[in-house]
Amino acid sequence: MSATVAKRREPRLGEDLYEARLAHGMPVFVLTRPGYDKKFASFATRYGSVDSRFRRAGGDWTTVPDGIAHFLEHQMFAQEYGDAFERFSEYGASANAFTSYTNTTYLFSCTDRFADSLRLLLEFVQQPYFTDAGTNKERGIIQQEIRMYRDNPGWRLSEGLKAALYQRHPFRLDIAGTVESVEAITTDLLRMCWDTFYHPSNMVVSVVGDVDPAEVAAMVEASLLAHPRPEQGSIDRDVAGEPDAIATPRVEAEMAVARPVVALGFKETDTAVSGDAVLVRDMATEICLEALAGKSSSLYNRLYESGRIDGTFHSYYHGERDFGLSVLSGETSDPDAFAEAWIGGVKSLLATGIDPAVFERQKRRMAGEFAASFNSPESLSYALNATYFAGSDLFAYGRLLDGLTLADVNARLHQHFEPSRTGVSVVRPKG
């Protein structure tokens, strides 16, 4: 019953990736890091805050309260023997978990007793222990967490931007839900969501460190056998038929901040991509943003030198299968002038297209940054999970970057950076 482990090599970086497919098709990835003392493992499910309305094969549509994926993440650590966090502490490991819009990830890092910690990670995620007392206790902690985020201007800014761009998609809501919505979360609902989404067919394990890939695969295989699950068909997720048009051009909030913080967003409408095309979409968008607003761009320099932006300015793209956005954000004394300047920049870039020299320089930068990303076991593990869930492959990155053409990037520029699909979020000083 020992799993077949396949090995692939990234010749340029001298990296080896090992992969085995186990029960229900669940993959385990191992990226070996010779010379590293630290081992990092993550166990992730393709289940996040946007999955609030779904249907199992042959079943009816179900709608659950907002914030339940995150609540479940908290609740999983409560085990019959006590707190799984503390068990990791006993092993000298450091454990954590996080919920994103699309995934929930459980993880640990350690230097000693890796096998004990890996077994524990696999076990507690596959073996929930739900009680009403536990649910009620955790609710108080989560409500504190929600309050904590509400005091963070960066969080308020991005919540505002999602609300400006999205009309219906649950991406527009807070990952943790609201103080009110978590009141409606019950033990039965948690169990039902766990049963639906924490199924091996919807999950992935990835390990990065100086470990034996065959041993890791055998341990994961044994753990899946010890927690047998019936076959489960695919899960349909209702993404609410989000239209291309934005919800509202502007969302404002007031907080105790020193001066206004602004974010200008472009809504993703290329939502039918999967596989390698997801990586290509990310790369092309990154090059567009660098050409427009990177530190080497002429507009960034002009706006910095005129004091319109400062060192807080940054831009990024976040794209998932059926939603996403590009963001230009920073502190500024005049949010309107900020937004106007960048929209003007987009219009001139659309007119000229991207400079071939800029395109080549950005590809060179990204090739270097991809190599540098192999320093970090954490980011490698997350990248393995993300590329798997996207239907692609981390090791395809170099090849896809090499193959990216200026025409691809210009096409993406015209498709995504559409001045009519922008929204602005502003957090202003209160009082």
Partner 1 sequence: MRVFHTPSSKFKTVTIRVYLHAPLRADMVTWTALVPHVLARGTRALPTLGDLARRCEELYGASLGAGVAKIGESQSLYVGVDAVEDRFLPEAARAVAGSVGLLRELLLEPARDAGGLLRGDVVAQEKENLAHRIQALINDKIRYAGMRLIEEMYRGEPFGLHAYGRLEDLPQVDAAAVTARYEDLIAHAPADVFAVGGDPALGDELAAAFGHLGGAGAIPAPAPGQAPAEVRRVTETQPVDQGKLNLGYRTPVTLGSPRHGAMMMYSGILGGFPHSKLFRNVREKASLAYYASSRYESLKGLLLVAAGIEPERRDEALRIIEQQVEDMAAGRISREEFDQTRSGLRNRLRSAEDSPGAMIDVAAEESMVGAPRTLEERLAAIDAVTDADVAAVARDVRLDTVYFLTSPQDGSGGSAPHGRGVEGASA
Residues 357-376 that bind partner 1 (CB under 8 A): 361-362, 364-369, 371-372, 374-376
261 makes contact with partner 1 (CB under 8 A): yes
Tokens at 416, concatenated: 């995504």
> Which two structure tokens, joined as six digits, stand for 7?
């090995």
Which among 406, 373, 267 is positioned nearest to 10, based on CA atoms? 373
Least distance (Å) between residue 12 CB and partner 1 = 7
Residue 152, H or E segment? none
Active site residue 180: no
Q: Which listed residue (2, 59, 83, 414) binds partner 1 by CB under 8 A?
A: 83
Q: Annotated catalytic residue: which of 73, 138, 290, 331?
A: 73
Q: Which positions from 20 through 79 interact with partner 1, judged by CB under 8 A?
A: 33-38
- Choose one: 21-29, 42-50, 58-66, 87-95; the region binding partner 1 (CB under 8 A): 87-95
258 near partner 1, judged by CB under 8 A? yes
- Per the structure block, which two tokens stand in for 238? 């209702």
In the set 16, 55, 85, 314, which binds partner 1 (CB under 8 A)? 85
Give the nearest distance from C-beta 110 to partner 1 in angstroms. Answer: 6
| 18 contacts 211 by C-beta, under 8 angstroms | no
Question: DSSP states of 286-339 as a string?
Answer: HHHHHHHHSTTSHHHHHHHHTTSS-TT-EEEEEE-SS-EEEEEEEE-S-HHHHH
Nearer to partner 1, 37 or 188 (CB): 37
- Residues 28, 377, 384, 417: which binds partner 1 (CB under 8 A)? 377
Specify the residue, 362 or 392, whose C-beta has the smaller distance to partner 1. 362
- Binding residues among 99-138 for partner 1 as defined by CB under 8 A: 109-112, 137-138
Residue among 189, 165, 117, 175 at smallest CA distance from 142: 175
Three-class secondary structure of residue 402 per DSSP: helix
Using CB under 8 A as the binding rule, the residues of this chain from 293 to 312 that contact partner 1 are: 294-298, 300-301, 304-305, 307, 310-312
Minimum CB separation of residue 3 from partner 1 in Å reads 27
Task: Report residue 366 CA to chain centroid gap.
Answer: 19
DSSP-based three-state secondary structure for 32: strand
Adjacent-strand bridge partners of 237:
54
Catalytic residue IDs: 73
